[in-house]
Structure 1
Amino acid sequence: MTRMFVSLLALVAATPALALSDQPPAPAETAETAAAPTGDVVVTASRSGDAIPTDLIGSSVTVLDSDALAQRQTRMVSDILRDVPGVAVSRSGAIGGTTQVRIRGSESNHVLVFVDGIKASDPYYSEFDFAGLVADENARIEVLRGQQSALYGSDAIGGVISYATLTGREAPGITTRAEGGSQGTFSTAARAGGVAGDNVDYAVSAAYLTTKGYPAAPGGSRDLGADNLGVSVKTNWTPSPVFKLTAVGRYNYTRADTDDQAIAPNSPMVLGYPVITLVDTPGSYYKNSAYYGLVSAELNLFDGAWSNMLSGQITDATRDGYTSAGYSYGDRGRRYRAAFNSTVRFGNEHVRNRFTYAVDFEREQARVIDPSGYAFTGTNRSDTTGFVAEYELTVDQRLSLGASARIDQYSRFKGAETYRATASYLLPTGTRLHAAYGTGIKAPTLTELFGYSTGQYIGNPNLQPERSKGWEAGVEQIFAGGNAKIGATYFDNRFEDEIQTVYVFANGQYVTSSANSATSTSQKGVELYANIKLKDWRVDAAYTYLDAPQSVLAVASPAPADGSYQAPVPVITQAVRRPKNSASLNVSYIPDALPLSVTATLRYNGAMRDYAFSSSYQTLLVDLHDYVLVNLNASYDLTKRVQIFGRVENLLNRKYQEVFTYRAPGTTAYGGVRIKL
């Protein structure tokens, strides 16, 4: 592995001379000069920063463009992610409840999330909570599936999700939207973008959603309301054709009501045991705010043959919890991240080569706020330095090969090496074959290393990164002049050294800690998809079959007559909150001859399992039933600048749970107006 990495570095070091040879360099690929037959391009699939056609990417990737978000009237970003193959979303009750996203059976903290190019996970939790991410006007989502740690390091085991607002050049103009509806919900968004002079573009966007919510506790009456705000500022300054300076700032804020869990008179029965359930807890809520910032400078030389980018970013996250008695708890997390990328491109109109070398530095620090004085409240810190080498080859815009390798050095534990190889070939018939193989890592969190509550949770400084390896292979058929494609992908992953919560005996009592598991787990499955844009119609469909067996210690037999304690035993089950079968279908009718659009959305979530806990905190497994949700959206243009719209969600009023004991909303309806200037 080390020899491979050194060889790649040697090639990168030699490429500036190659770029200046007699063979003229090819210009950098862009959305305009290297568009795929389907028109979609992706920037997360390469560290070069180039926009790469999806038909030249060996990994599985889904693009949700601004039109898709608008036609499905997306208000919370997590909702549209349910339409992506391989993705499972679980929200704990109402808007504002913890919202986790899993890819291909991975854990939610195995998914790397970028928001406007900034690593957005909370440094304290080492996970991104989608609960407060409100969709902006004119935004775009990329979902890159499979192990991507060779490009991005830790957290990218399951894949990468990139959410980005469009620049002023991509979407100029002023747009504002306001809507209201069920559960006392009101949301609004505004955006202004454009170009100032010849060398500056800018975009300012804001989105706000407030709702009184509904009772999420079974049998409860307390509405769980939420307020969510997102503000983004993005600007690019290009004083010359070879230099560009970019600045991004973002602020997210969430204030949401919460309920506690306890044994209650109406507690559900599982295997004969009454289990802990959600109960009304008046006065309980949390506040979460996060500041994000990014500055980057890019220098392009020799007609785009050699580009260099230096960037720095910061994530500052704050979370505070309150009860009816006042302030209860809090935590603080901050991440500093710097990166240097250097890419060399050379070749001709038939063969294009691209070498990228990157260095990443990241510092994470976090601490607990505990008004009771019980927990350790000092600041813990961890540093990571990563070195990346990547090579990509494209032949006649049909064959694409890629290889990347990465070494991560950690200040708190042993370093890790990851690698990835990809291939894609587009036949003249429009049939595309693609495959990828890679490894991934997830570094231990600061909480797992240091603990968070003295005497209750003990950190384990001997933890090692979680590891994954896997492969995928797929086939895709493009037809109708590039306006339609259908595809199927098979994937097979294996996880090792997973970090699990364990009980240890210390100071005369049992306390919790973390340890690397000695066993491995596997996740395999099939993803099917279809994307069709023909005349007045747009159809997007996805289906996922996931086989993710997991061994858990749980009670396996009904409770004795006296309800006494039973020791847990190993039970093989599908990993919790990950259905074996899931699917979505979006059909939009957008006639050119009429100022009307209609979209119908069907989302199927198959049966899955979740954890339940008895009064003795025995782990039990509970079945959650499958369900189908139907949404119907429509919009009508009164003029070229004024549009009215409306939607109904959960049209059939299905009763279901995404997380055990958390009720989901019934039928809701919304309507509003959008103005474009």
Structure 2
Amino acid sequence: MIYTRTIRLLGAASALTLAGFAPATAQELRLDTILVTPNRTPTEASKVGSKVETVTSEEIEQRALPLVVDYLTLLPGVSTSSSGGLGQETGLFVRGADKKYVKTLFNGIDISDPTATQVQSSYEHLIMGGVSGIELLKGSQGTLYGSEAVAGVLGISTLDGIEEGVHHEIFGEFGSNATARGGYKLSGADGTGKAALTLHGLTTDGISSARVNGHPLVDGDPNRLEDDFYRNFTGTFAGEKQVGEYLTLFGSGLLINSEGDFDDSGNPPTDNELNTGKSNQKAARLGATLTLLDGRFRNTVSGQIFEMDREISSAGVFGGFLSPFEGHYLGRRTKIDYQGEFDVADWATLQFGADHERQSAAVTDNFGTDTDDDFDLNGVWTQAVLEPLENLTLTGSVRHDDHSEFGGHTTWRATAAYFLPDYRTKFHGSLGTGFRAPSLYELYAPFAGNPDLDPEESTSFDIGVEQRFFDDRLVADVTFFLLDTRNLIDYSYSTFSYVQIPGTTERRGVEASLTWQAASWLDIGASYTYTHTEQPDGERRPRIPLHDIVLSATVRPAEKWTVSASARGVINVNDRIALAGGAFEDVKLKDHLLVNAKIAYHPTENSELYVRGENLLDQDYETVRGYGTPGISGFAGFRMKF
């Protein structure tokens, strides 16, 4: 009994080890699916009031896409942008809020970059090698996760679906633009724990990020510009081990080395063969869970470190002379975290915790604008999880953070989930607040920094209903959401520094999704997202589609064969370009329909040969004004397990 309870609560120890995903179609959840992100502890999906999207290990194998964002963009309420091909700067938007408002945890490690203009994760470098499960928790989650958890929390795991024994897996893929990727995974599990080690590499000649006369570049064009190459090597490790009846140890590590070309930004972007960037991300996390009082009292302590070391080398021509730029950016985050859980009664659990975080960033360049700064952030929080009635789950939480620069800030959250088993209906809703602490760059950057900045604040609300039909083979969900952010931090061209912008930026919308196991050989999925955004000046936020539609299907036409396809339509999206004198102009981007497909043959139960295609309609489109996107592309690959 003690062992069973300890393993069940290990997700609380690892914070975001997304344990126990059951196979699911598209993004809908089985009622017995176990989620970790909503309450920082394993919770049945039927008892979660917040809206959560998942990507399962089954879906990852079905699609074989290269990047984490390739899967996220198929989820309701999520859109992405990219300044070119693989390895170029990538934006992530959740319910109309960009990536600086999304907390991202890789096996429980915060992987956001302290050296960035705003603290945010580099999604362009997150390749899928070893990733076996994803959870996206939507809404402001400041009480459980602190700063940056304004639009949601993204949890990425490499420990899902590991079976007992020792297992090896190799995979490889080759295709368009001289793209190749491959890797190796070693995993194992026994009655007391599990572990996984992955090595994954990706290389591509790429495409040119810059465009010519508003058209994609093609071979044979006399004005063809330089392709922007990209290389990535990623290594991951994660494991957990029960030691005796009451103690469980866990740990994880991450290494990402990347290198590539990039083009000059501007209006329009221009090709520059002298621009290169390198980054080295290293992270580790260790912790332990101690279970007391017959499993009623769980205590988890963990420590983590993340380091970003990146270099930029570029050059431009000014006044007829070549002007090179060399920049080196070194950022570090250390964090110590405690979480306790006490079962007060069968229907009530009290959670509580405290954490200390330090961020530092050192910047050196050949222009003499060197900086070396840091700040501390301390937080305490508590949450009550209540089941006062059968099938009704309520949570309420509050948190207080103290920042070494701007002082204290308090956030709160409440959720409710009510499941009617006779009707297979679940009502869910959440209301919460969040905040984004100003980054080290916004506080202390030479000339532009402003140490008097306060945090940005947010309030979010969502309410929805999930309905199941035909023995849960058809699942539909409709959710209304709003997300308001205040005290926006932005750069002022009148003061030449970062300032607080008064007013509220509003985001309103509806997410609708449906999955249907239509037959033993056919699964169908669909989603629609409507997102309305409005700034204090009345303008829309850029790069957010007003309408986003996704259709998907998986067909098993014969034994050993699987065909999967998806189509995503993006309608009515604008971008914002800079004009002279600090002015801006909104421009409309072209609507587009992206179709991807994969055909797989399984010679044996543990092997797969496949071909897949991206942008099969060869759409000419942009997600960032002036930057190219790949045309129709084809790939062939294999996967073997033994």
TM-score of the pair, normalised by structure 2: 0.90
Give me the whole-angstrom Cα distance separating, in 2, the residues matched to 1:642 and 1:153.
Answer: 43
Partner of 1:585: 551
Partner of 1:185: 179
Give me the whole-angstrom Cα distance separating, in 1, the residues matched to 2:613 and 2:547.
Answer: 25
Correspondence 1:513 to 2:506: no
Deviations 1:435-476 (A, max 9, x none): 11111111111111111xx3xx42111111100112111011
Moved more, 634-643 or 244-253: 634-643
Moved more, 318-327 or 652-661: 318-327
Confirm or deny: 8 A CA contact 1:28 1:305 kept in the other structure: no
Partner of 2:480: 490
Confirm or deny: 8 A CA contact 1:574 1:608 kept in the other structure: no
The letter for the 2-side match of 1:471 is: F
Q: 1:29 to 1:52 in 2, by over 3 A?
A: farther
Q: 1:605 to 1:34 in 2, by over 3 A?
A: closer
The letter for the 2-side match of 1:342 is: G
Partner of 2:51: 60
For residue 535 of structure 2, give the secondary structure of its aligned residue in structure 1: strand
1:639-650 maps to which residues of 2 (within 5 A)?
Answer: 639-650=604-615
- How far off its partner does 1:371 sit? 2.4
Deviations 1:225-251 (A, max 9, x none): 111121101122212131111111110
For residue 295 of structure 2, give the secondary structure of its aligned residue in structure 1: coil
Partner of 2:385: 392
Task: List gaps (5 residues or longer) in structure 2.
Answer: 12-18, 24-28, 213-223, 316-322
Task: List gaps (5 residues or longer) in structure 1.
Answer: 1-23, 263-275, 506-511, 553-571
Partner of 2:296: 305
Correspondence 1:422 to 2:415: yes
Correspondence 1:277 to 2:281: no
Give me the whole-angstrom Cα distance separating, in 1, the residues matched to 2:160 and 2:592.
Answer: 38
Confirm or deny: 8 A CA contact 2:574 2:587 kept in the other structure: yes
Give me the whole-angstrom Cα distance separating, in 2, the residues matched to 1:207 and 1:245.
Answer: 26
Partner of 2:229: 225
The letter for the 1-side match of 2:228 is: L
For residue 471 of structure 2, give the secondary structure of its aligned residue in structure 1: helix
Confirm or deny: 8 A CA contact 1:203 1:235 kept in the other structure: yes
For residue 68 of structure 1, give the secondary structure of its aligned residue in structure 2: helix
Q: 1:313 to 1:170 in 2, by over 3 A?
A: farther
Correspondence 1:207 to 2:211: no
Selected match of 2:523 from 519, 538, 559: 538
Partner of 2:471: 481
The letter for the 1-side match of 2:577 is: A
Q: 1:416 to 1:370 in 2, by over 3 A?
A: same
Correspondence 1:252 to 2:252: no
Correspondence 1:598 to 2:528: no
The letter for the 2-side match of 1:353 is: A
Correspondence 1:337 to 2:335: yes
Correspondence 1:465 to 2:455: yes
Query: What percent identity do the matched residue pairs reach?
Result: 29
Selected match of 1:549 from 515, 519, 534: 534
- How far off its partner does 1:380 sit? 0.6
For residue 629 of structure 2, give the secondary structure of its aligned residue in structure 1: coil
Partner of 1:14: none
The letter for the 1-side match of 2:491 is: T
For residue 222 of structure 1, give the secondary structure of its aligned residue in structure 2: coil
- How far off its partner does 1:33 sit? 13
Correspondence 1:401 to 2:367: no
Deviations 1:367-395 (A, max 9, x none): 2121232x033x21110111110011236
Give me the whole-angstrom Cα distance separating, in 2, the residues matched to 1:406 and 1:483.
Answer: 40
Q: 1:33 to 1:72 in 2, by over 3 A?
A: closer
- Asked which structure has the greater CA Rg, the reply is 1
Selected match of 2:126 from 130, 133, 143: 133
The letter for the 1-side match of 2:503 is: T
Q: 1:33 to 1:449 in 2, by over 3 A?
A: closer
Partner of 1:628: 593
For residue 135 of structure 1, give the secondary structure of its aligned residue in structure 2: coil
Give me the whole-angstrom Cα distance separating, in 2, the residues matched to 1:582 and 1:134.
Answer: 24
Q: 1:225 to 1:624 in 2, by over 3 A?
A: same
Partner of 1:116: 107
How many equivalent pairs are there?
A: 602
Correspondence 1:361 to 2:356: yes
Give me the whole-angstrom Cα distance separating, in 2, the residues matched to 1:301 and 1:590.
Answer: 49
For residue 527 of structure 2, give the secondary structure of its aligned residue in structure 1: strand
Correspondence 1:526 to 2:510: yes
Give me the whole-angstrom Cα distance separating, in 1, the residues matched to 2:499 and 2:324.
Answer: 35
Q: 1:633 to 1:461 in 2, by over 3 A?
A: same
Deviations 1:107-166 (A, max 9, x none): 320111011110110112210020110002451000010010011111001001111112
Q: 1:446 to 1:633 in 2, by over 3 A?
A: same
The letter for the 1-side match of 2:430 is: A
Give me the whole-angstrom Cα distance separating, in 1, the residues matched to 2:152 and 2:582.
Answer: 33
The letter for the 2-side match of 1:414 is: G
Confirm or deny: 8 A CA contact 1:167 1:203 kept in the other structure: no
- How far off its partner does 1:39 sit? 3.9
The letter for the 2-side match of 1:366 is: A
Give me the whole-angstrom Cα distance separating, in 1, the residues matched to 2:388 and 2:30.
Answer: 16
Partner of 2:633: 668
Give me the whole-angstrom Cα distance separating, in 1, the residues matched to 2:146 and 2:71.
Answer: 26
Q: 1:170 to 1:389 in 2, by over 3 A?
A: farther
For residue 129 of structure 2, give the secondary structure of its aligned residue in structure 1: coil
Confirm or deny: 8 A CA contact 1:38 1:482 kept in the other structure: no
Confirm or deny: 8 A CA contact 2:253 2:285 kept in the other structure: yes
